[in-house]
């Protein structure tokens, strides 16, 4: 990215680890944004991964071909719905649900615009991605292996547990990493449900402010302060690096899987 080099004059490490954000005084600390992003992503993965694992196994191993054919468009549709729609849906359902039903049990007050809301919305957005990769991974496992296990008297679930999951662990990791990188970069939907308050969130009911939202919200006004611009470009650059890194890892794993079974 082009506006990046200006930033390196300032000490990079303190930028990443402090959470003081005062653009007008020239103080930029990214820690709260980075932590927000990480929290939201972790919640999303915790929710999404088990759900999509179970669903993926069910569709590839248990379901009849009719259900399978019916479910493919469902996944396509879910992944086709634009982020804004998820955002609208999130503000309409998840946010009030958290602030009225869930939060009062744990904390005194929450607007509902929170880490948890962001995590849930993100989880739903990445589920179709994980499922579609998992389905490919599961179906790349040779039939003979399953049959061998079944013929030894294992039940279907034991086969799934001992053969399929064990064999596809690299694939599962790859799918997860890919989903993490998708979640990291998601902007609009998270921005709409997260609250956008610059602070390190202390509980899942606190509002947060992830990196992409920071870029999106401040890009228009940054022109006046040159340091501000380079700070935001640094944010974009960070995102870029992290995501490229994750993507390369997971693609390499997926290609390895492909090679092992298709040669």
Binding site for other proteins (CB under 8 A): 1-3, 50-52, 54-55, 57-59, 62-63, 71, 73-74, 76-78, 80-89, 91-93, 124, 127, 131, 155-158, 160, 178, 181-182, 184-188, 192, 212, 215-216, 219-220, 232-233, 236, 239-240, 243-244, 246-248, 251-252, 255
Least distance (Å) between residue 8 CB and other proteins: 17
The pair of structure tokens assigned to 251 is 């693609």
Q: In angstroms, give the least distance from the CB of 45 to other proteins.
A: 15
Instruction: Work out how close the CB of 202 gets to other proteins at its nearest, in angstroms, rounded to a whole number.
Output: 26
| CA geometry: angle 69, 72, 75, nearest 5 deg | 155
Which C-beta is closer to other proteins: that of 73 or that of 106? 73
Of residues 75 and 106, the one with the C-beta less far from other proteins: 75
CB of 197 to other proteins, least distance (A): 15
Q: Report how far apart, in Å, the C-alpha atoms of 77 and of each of 48, 162, 221 are.
A: 17, 32, 36
Asked if 36 contacts 115 with a C-beta cutoff of 8 angstroms, the reply is yes
16 token code pair: 């990443």
Separation CA 147–CA 94 (nearest Å): 44
The radius of gyration of the chain from alpha carbons, rounded to an integer in Å, stands at 21
Rounded to whole angstroms, how far apart are CA atoms 41 and 49? 12
Residue closer to other proteins (CB basis): 10 or 68: 68
State the minimum distance, in angstroms, from the CB of residue 26 to other proteins: 21
Distances (CA, A) of 20 to 141, 198, 205: 50, 9, 21
């Amino acid at each position: 990215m082009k506006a990046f080099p200006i930033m390196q004059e300032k000490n990079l490490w303190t930028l990443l680890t402090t959470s003081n954000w005062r653009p007008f005084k020239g103080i930029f600390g990214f820690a709260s944004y980075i932590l927000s992003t990480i929290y939201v992503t972790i919640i999303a993965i915790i929710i999404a991964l088990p759900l999509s694992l179970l669903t993926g196994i069910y569709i590839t191993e248990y379901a009849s071909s009719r259900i399978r054919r019916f479910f493919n468009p469902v996944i396509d549709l879910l992944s086709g719905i634009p982020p804004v729609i998820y955002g609208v849906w999130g503000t309409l359902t998840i946010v009030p649900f958290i602030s009225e039903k869930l939060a009062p049990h744990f904390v005194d007050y929450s607007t509902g615009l929170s880490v948890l809301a962001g995590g849930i919305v993100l989880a739903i957005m990445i589920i179709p991605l994980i499922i579609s990769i998992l389905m490919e991974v599961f179906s790349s496992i040779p039939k003979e292996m399953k049959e061998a296990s079944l013929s030894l008297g294992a039940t279907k679930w034991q086969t799934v547990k001992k053969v399929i999951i064990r064999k596809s662990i690299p694939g599962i990791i790859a799918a997860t990493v890919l989903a993490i990188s998708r979640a990291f970069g998601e902007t609009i939907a998270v921005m709409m449900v997260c609250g956008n308050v610059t602070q390190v969130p202390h509980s899942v009911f606190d509002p947060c402010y992830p990196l992409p939202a920071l870029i999106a919200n401040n890009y228009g006004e940054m022109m006046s302060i040159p340091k501000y611009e380079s700070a935001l470009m640094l944010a974009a650059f960070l995102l870029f690096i992290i995501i490229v890194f994750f993507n390369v890892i997971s693609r390499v794993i997926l290609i390895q899987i492909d090679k092992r079974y298709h040669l």
